[in-house]
Structure 1
Amino acid sequence: MERILDVKNLKVSYHTYAGEVQSVRGVDFYLNKGETLAVVGESGCGKSVTAKSIMRLIQTPGEIKQDSEILFDGKDLAKLSEKELREIRGSEISMIFQDPMTSLNPTMTIGKQIAESLIIHRGMSKHEALAEAAKMLKLVNIPNAEKRVKQYPHEFSGGMRQRAMIAIALACNPKILIADEPTTALDVTIQAQIMDLIGDLQNKLGTAVILITHDLGVVADSAHRIQVMYAGKIIERGTTDEIFYNPQHPYTWALLQSVPRLDTGHKDSLYSIKGTPPDLLKPPVGCPFASRCEYAMPICKEAMPEITKMTENHEVSCWLKHPLAPKVEKSLAGGAK
């Protein structure tokens, strides 16, 4: 498959009064044309910072480190000027932000907000852009689109605001769509509709999607590949089937166990991970999950685990899977193999 994005050694830090918070610590990944890559992990793991870094939306006191590379269409986005980036943002790479109510401008109609990028990036007249805005609202299944383009965000429901955000993001037919928690604060039915909509539009437009979420249930039917983040690092990656049916990292096992299942009794408690994530002001020298892991060995706290290749697409950073590690018989709900 054609590779459209290649991120190498991405490091992002925030300079605070307490010191340097290392939010993203040497992340590598790629995105193929037309595929959906899911980035999953609990809050604070660095997934949203990674997404914003691709569009260079990290603001002071944040900093993308000098040796980071974000290669897109033959250009290193980490090295481009702000003027060059403005030509790419919204036209070739677009983003759906977490909260549509705070991301949409409350003083502008929905139609004008969609038209804005069409005028800037596609050179349309105001009249042409508003007509195209109505077409985009129809495309994302908003009824009475001609009427809705004249309305303001507060006149839309939560699900419709999220659809409007998708319309804005896709208005210029970008090559990459970054969806940062696109179903947050929506009920389950609307969540499914939004994910189906993104999938349908991806098939029609051929857009590659990076899906940022903490909910593995959201990505089960929509992602081609999944990478699991913890404490600013990618600790496991693979195809969706490999992550769901043959997970290798104890953190991935725990994430999967925390997802509600249809065969779980209504009185059964969901699994929760003991402890708290490490302080990224002083990241651990070993595996960042070691202090919370039931299978941690002495070496886990002494050195960062090497990457072990399980299959062509499946990699894990865990000492348990290292060829020289002792065999661990104990398993976590069938997760260990």
Structure 2
Amino acid sequence: MEKILEVKNLQVSFHTYAGEVKAVRGVDFHLKKGETLAIVGESGCGKTVTSKAIMRLLPEPRPAEMKEGSEILFNGKDILKMNEKELREIRGSEISMIFQDPMTSLNPTMTVGKQIAESLRIHRGMNKNEAMAEAIKMLELVNIPNADKRVNQYPHEFSGGMRQRAMIAIALACNPKILIADEPTTALDVTIQAQIMDLIRDLQEKLGTAVILITHDLGVVADTADRVQVMYAGQVVERGAVKEIFNNPQHPYTWALLQSVPRLETKNKDVLYSLNGTPPDLVKPPVGCPFAARCEYCMGICLEEMPEITIVDGEHSVACWLKHQMAPKVEVPEVLRKGE
């Protein structure tokens, strides 16, 4: 399948009063047409910074800085070398993004219909009437009832779930090739979360859009994604097909993430697994493995050198010294073994 996006050696820093925060450190990945790639990890690991870097929405050149050697190739063209005119042409048209909080992302002074129509008029050259008619169709597409009336309402007149649907309508109005969904189910109740993810999946199948799903909800990932990459402290520590990550996880951090998810057999009074410690300070990132200070399997080499990338099987790879041929054998935690 053809690669529509390739991110190579992405390095993003923020210049702050405390010093240079190295938020993303050498991230590599690709996205194929029509697939869903999930990027998972706890807050502060670099997921959102990576997604905004793809859209060039970070405040450059200060405080954000894209380091030399970084590449973001969309259909072979480096987004980091595009001028403002070229960026305007692909934002919303070729690559769209659903942001975390729809209430702060939508313009409170404009009707929802006008916000959808604005993108259609800019990118598809529609006149006012054509754009509003298409806006109604988009609201119907995302299952908002009474779309012909809702199109003239303001964001505060929509519920949380409906605002998120409106954001999806805006993002998909121009049939983008890539949709970046940054925590699309945050702050929504479980029923609405399921509806939103079903909606994204249905629209993806209809329009053939590739999706980058940014989330910390592994339940959503298991049900939605084709491939997964696990990020920690600005780096990718494990990547692979969703079945490989869930059935055969290799990195201790991935184990920790999976163990922290409630299981069907979990009883009401059972204590969920909790990962001790905190992520490293990225003003002064560690010279060795960034997870070493929190890892119960930490060895001397982990503190001294970055781990090598080890191919587990096919596209499944991991950055961990435990995979070295000289390392002691460590079993996957029993609760995570396939079939348990």
Q: What's the TM-score bracket when you normalise by the shorter of the two chains? A: over 0.9
TM-aligned CA deviation for residue 334 of structure 1: 4.6
Give runs of aligned pairs for residues 119-268 of structure 1, distance below 5 A: 119-268=121-270
Stretches of structure 1 that go unaligned for 5 or more consecutive residues are none
2:182 partner letter? D
| Gapped regions of structure 2 (runs ≥ 5) | none
Letter in 2 for 1:265: K
Cα RMSD (Å): 1.1
- Tell me the TM-score normalised to structure 1 length: 0.98
Describe how 1:298-309 pairs up with structure 2 within 5 A: 298-309=300-311
Match of 1:46 in 2: 46
Aligned residue among 106, 129, 152 for 1:104: 106
Q: Is the 8 A contact 2:259 2:335 kept in 1?
A: no
Q: Deviation of residue 56 (structure 1)? A: 0.5
Distance 2:104 2:190 in 1: 21
Whole-angstrom CA distance in 1 between matches of 2:240 and 2:210: 17
Aligned pair partner of 2:282 in 280, 288, 294: 280
For 1:24, the aligned partner's letter is V
Query: 1:9 and 2:16 equivalent?
Result: no
Q: Is the 8 A contact 1:58 1:64 kept in 2?
A: no
Q: CA deviation at 1:260?
A: 1.2
Equivalent position amino acid for 1:13 in 2: S
How many residues align? The count is 336
Render the CA deviation track for 1:15-68: whole Å, top value 9, x for unaligned: 001110000000000000000000000000000000000010111311111210
2:267 partner letter: G
Distance in structure 2 (CA, Å) of the matches to 1:74 and 1:223? 24
CA distance in 2, matches of 1:253, 1:187: 26
Change (3 A) 1:189 1:319: same
1:91 partnered with 2:82: no
Q: In structure 2, how many angstroms separate the alpha carbons of the residues matched to 1:45 and 1:269?
A: 25
- Aligned residue type for 2:43: S
Match of 2:78 in 1: 76
Return the offset for 1:313.
Answer: 1.2
Distance in 2 (CA, whole Å) between partners of 1:133 and 1:117 is 10
Tell me the SS of whatever aligns to 2:132.
Answer: helix
| 3-state SS, counterpart of residue 223 of structure 2 | coil
CA distance in 2, matches of 1:155, 1:249: 45
1:248–1:336: 8 Å Cα contact kept in structure 2?
no
Deviation of residue 335 (structure 1)?
Answer: 4.5
Distance 1:280 1:160 in 2: 37
Q: Contact between 2:259 and 2:336, CA under 8 Å: does it hold in 1?
A: no
Q: Please give the alpha-carbon distance, in whole angstroms, between the structure 1 residues aligned to 2:266 and 2:176.
A: 41
Q: Distance in 2 between matches of 1:44 and 1:199?
A: 27
Letter in 2 for 1:19: G
Please give the per-residue CA displacement for 1:174-219, whole angstroms capped at 9, x wherever unaligned: 0000000000000011000000000000000000000000111111
Partner SS for 1:261: coil
Aligned-partner SS, 1:124: coil
For residues 33 and 330 of structure 2, what CA distance do their matches in structure 1 show?
Answer: 39
Post-superposition CA distance 1:60-110 (Å, at most 9, x none): 311111210000012100111111100000000000000000000000000
Question: Is residue 24 of structure 2 the alignment partner of residue 24 of structure 1?
Answer: yes
- Aligned to 2:257, the other structure's residue is in SS state helix
Indicate the percent of aligned positions where both proteins have the same amino acid. Answer: 79
What secondary structure, in the 3-state scheme, does the structure 2 residue paired with 1:30 have? strand
Partner of 2:334: 333
In 2: Cα distance, 1:35 partner to 1:328 partner? 33
User: How far apart, CA to CA, are the structure 2 residues paired with 1:67 and 1:141?
Assistant: 43
Could you give the per-residue CA deviations for residues 122-165 of structure 1, whole angstroms, max 9, x where no partner exists? 00001100000000000000010000000000000000000000
Structure 2 contact 34–209 (Cα < 8 Å) conserved: yes
Instruction: Please state whether the residue corresponding to 1:115 is helix, strand or coil.
Output: helix
Change (3 A) 1:72 1:6: same
Report the AA paired with residue 243 of structure 1.
I
Partners of 2:337 and 2:82 lie apart in 1 by 44
CA shift for structure 1 position 336: 7.9
